Amino acid sequence: MESKRTKESLVINTDQVMINDLNNYNTLFGGVLMKKLDNNATLSARRHARVKECVTASTDSIDFLHPIHQTDSVCVESFVSYTGNKSMEIFCKVIAEDMITGERRMAATAFLTFVALDENKKAIKVPNVIPETEEEKFLYQSGEERAERRHGRREHSRQLTEIIGLEKPWEKGEDLYV
């Protein structure tokens, strides 16, 4: 399988902030931004793997750095920053631009992991990535460490699911309103 340059998976999407996207602080709802990140990252993963379907395996982190206001545009850039055998780490950066002053600021960064699926919904091998810019090389070189943390977190989640209950809280017989 041929390796691909990082920029081949680059997806850029700029949008305005609408009033119904705002929370009670008049800034962009975190959930609205999360949806934008997932949409962009999905396209980057599909572009890299050249498949019909990619699924989100995890949202590793979203760091909200600066609020996004209604007077801002919000630009999401995403690309495959690191690959495993069957997984792709997608790096997303969010740049807010004040449409009045032109000031640009890094509003958020995020890492999401995707798996490419074949027509039978089975995970398939994905191409390696070739980083070229300083930013891409930094993300690639630190990718293995993030992948190890993801595996540790996933194992912890598996252990947790073995001990947490699925009972309905109201049927436990305990007083929930103590």
Domains of the chain: 4-163 (3.10.129.10)
Q: Is residue 172's pLDDT more than 90?
A: no
Per-residue pLDDT reduced to its tens digit, 105-163: 999 999 999 999 999 999 999 999 999 999 999 999 999 999 999 999 999 999 999 98
Reduce the secondary structure of the chain to three states and give it as a string: CCCEEHHHHCEEEEEECCHHHECCCCEECHHHHHHHHHHHHHHHHHHHHCCCEEEEEEEEEEEECCCCECCEEEEEEEEEEEECCCEEEEEEEEEEEECCCCCEEEEEEEEEEEEEECCCCCECCCCCEECCCHHHHHHHHCHHHHHHHHHHHHHHHHHHHHHCCCCCHHHCCCCCCC
Rg (CA), the chain: 19
Mean local confidence (pLDDT), 53-68: 95
Residue at 49: amino acid letter: A
Q: Tell me the whole-structure pTM to 2 decimals.
A: 0.89
Tokens for 160, please give them: 């947790």
* Predicted pLDDT of residue 178: 57
* Predicted pLDDT of residue 128: 97
Classify strands 104-117 and 53-64 as parallel, antiparallel or unpaired.
Answer: antiparallel
pLDDT grade, residue 165 (50/70/90)?
A: confident
* Predicted pLDDT of residue 4: 97
User: Across the chain, what does the average pLDDT equal?
Assistant: 94
**Quick one: 147 exposed, middle or buried, by C-beta within 10 A (0-12, 13-18, 19+)?**
middle
Per-residue pLDDT reduced to its tens digit, 79-89: 999 999 999 99
* Predicted pLDDT of residue 171: 77
CB atoms within 10 A of CB 64: 15
Integer CA distances (angstroms), 111 to 52, 62, 124, in order: 22, 7, 21
Tokens for 140, please give them: 């690639």
